[in-house]
Amino acid sequence: MFLGWEALMQCVPDVYIDSMGYAFTLPLFKYVGGCRVGSYVHYPTISTDMFSVVKNQNAGFNNAGFITRNPFLSKVKLIYYYWFGFMYGLAGSCSDVVMVNSSWTLAHILSLWKAGNCTSIVYPPCDVQTFLDLPLHEKKKTPGHLLVSIGQFRPEKNHPLQIRAFAKLLNKKGAESLPSLKLVLIGGCRNKDDELRVNQLRKLSEDLGVQDHVEFKINIPFEELKKYLSEATIGLHTMWNEHFGIGIVECMAAGTIILAHKSGGPKLDIVVPYEGDVTGFLAESEEGYADMMAQILSMSAEKRLQIRKSARASVLRFSDQEFEVTFLLSVEKLFK
C-alpha cells in the first residue's frame, strides 16, 4: 500500500492493472485514485489449501514444525490466516476485471474474492515456439534414457521426491529390464539458501546410492537447457498444487514426456487429454512416480512418439499469441 501510494503521488492513471499480486493496492487506486482497476492473479497470496494445512496441523515448507506441534500456536495462526483471507478477499473484490492463470487459481480466487461475474482464466504466455522448433524424434544419440527436472531449487518444488522416486525406479529395474538411466536436475539458485538446498540434494542422492546417476545443472544458459530437453525422454515435476507450470508446458513443447504432480494447474489445465489422446502422466507418491517412470520407459518408441505429438499439439493454447488475444478480450471493459 505504501508502494501504491508512492506511485499515485507520481501519476494517477485512468486504468490500473496489478499483475504482481499486490491486492491491497486495488482499493487504494480505485477509491483514492478513482481508477478503473484490474488484476491478473498468478498465485493467491493466501489460499483455502493453506487454511487446511494449518487446521490439520500438517508440517510443510510454509508451516513450521514447532507450530504444528503446538495446538495453541496452530490456532493463533489459523485465526490470523482467516483474518488475512477475509481482508484479502475484500481488497480483491474491488477489481473491475479479474484474470487468473489457471483453473486451480480460479477456484481459490472465486472462493476468496467472490467476484465471479468479472473473473476469467487467461493462461500465461509461454514461449512454446522456441521449443516446437526442436526436431521431434525418438532421441537415441546416447544409450539409455535421460530424465530431466526444470525448476528453481526452492523447497516447494520438492526435488527430494524426484530423487527418492528415481532411486526406487533404479531398485525396481534390477540388472536387466531397462537401459542405463540418468536424472538431471536443472534449475536456478537465487541465494545461499538455494545453494545449501542443492548440497542437501547431493547428499540425499549419495545416501540413496544413486549419485552416479544424478547430475545437477545450476543456472545454465538457455541453449543448454534446450539441448537437454531435446535429448530427454521424461520431464519430471513434483510440486504440489503448482498454480500453473510453465516449465511443464516447455517440456511438452520440446517433445519430452511429462510426469507431473497430480494437483493444481498440471492436473486441471495442462496434462489433460487432447482430442482424446494422452499428453502426459500424473503421480503423487514416490511409489507412484517410480511406477509411472517405469511404465513410460517400457513403452515402444512409437507409443512415446505418439504421446509427444499430442502433447505438442495441446500446448499451442498456451502460446504468446493466444495470451495476447485472451488478455485483450478480458481487459476490454476497463477501457470503455
The mean pLDDT of 272-277, rounded to a whole number, is 95
Question: pLDDT at position 59, please?
Answer: 59
| The three-state (H, E, C) secondary structure of the chain, written as one string | CHHHHHHHHHCCCCEEEECCCCHHHHHHHHHHCCCEEEEEECCCCCCHHHHHHHHCCCCECCECHHHHCCHHHHHHHHHHHHHHHHHHHHHHCCCCEEEECCHHHHHHHHHHHCCHHHEEECCCCECHHHHHCCCCCCCCCCCCEEEEEECCCCHHHCHHHHHHHHHHHHHHHCCCCCCCEEEEEEECCCCHHHHHHHHHHHHHHHHCCCHHHEEEEECCCHHHHHHHHHHCCEEECCCCCCCCCHHHHHHHHHCCEEEEECCHHHHHHHCCCECCECCCEEECCHHHHHHHHHHHHHCCHHHHHHHHHHHHHHHHHHEHHHHHHHHHHHHHHHHC
Higher pLDDT, 116 or 277: 277
Mean pLDDT check: name the lowest of 61-65, 96-100, 173-177, 182-186.
173-177
Cβ contact 234:259 at 8 Å: yes
Domain boundaries, the chain: 1-123+321-334, 128-318
pLDDT by residue (tens digit) across 132-191? 988 886 555 556 899 999 999 999 999 999 999 999 999 876 545 567 899 999 999 999
> Which of the four pLDDT bands, split at 50, 70 and 90, describes residue 116?
confident
In this predicted structure, the answer to whether residue 92 has a pLDDT above a threshold of 60 is yes
pLDDT by residue (tens digit) across 39-59? 999 989 988 777 777 666 665
Mean pLDDT check: name the lowest of 35-49, 126-140, 276-290, 292-306.
126-140
Question: pLDDT at position 336, please?
Answer: 82
Question: pLDDT at position 199, please?
Answer: 96
In this predicted structure, the answer to whether residue 30 has a pLDDT above a threshold of 70 is yes
Mean pLDDT check: name the lowest of 4-18, 123-137, 312-326.
123-137
Question: pLDDT at position 175, please?
Answer: 40
Question: pLDDT at position 98, please?
Answer: 97
Question: pLDDT at position 198, please?
Answer: 96
The mean pLDDT of 26-36, rounded to a whole number, is 97
Question: pLDDT at position 177, please?
Answer: 59
Q: What topology does CATH give the domain 128-318?
A: Rossmann fold (3.40.50)
Higher pLDDT, 108 or 70: 108
What is the residue-averaged pLDDT of the chain?
90
In this predicted structure, the answer to whether residue 65 has a pLDDT above a threshold of 50 is yes
Higher pLDDT, 75 or 318: 318
Residue type, 128: V
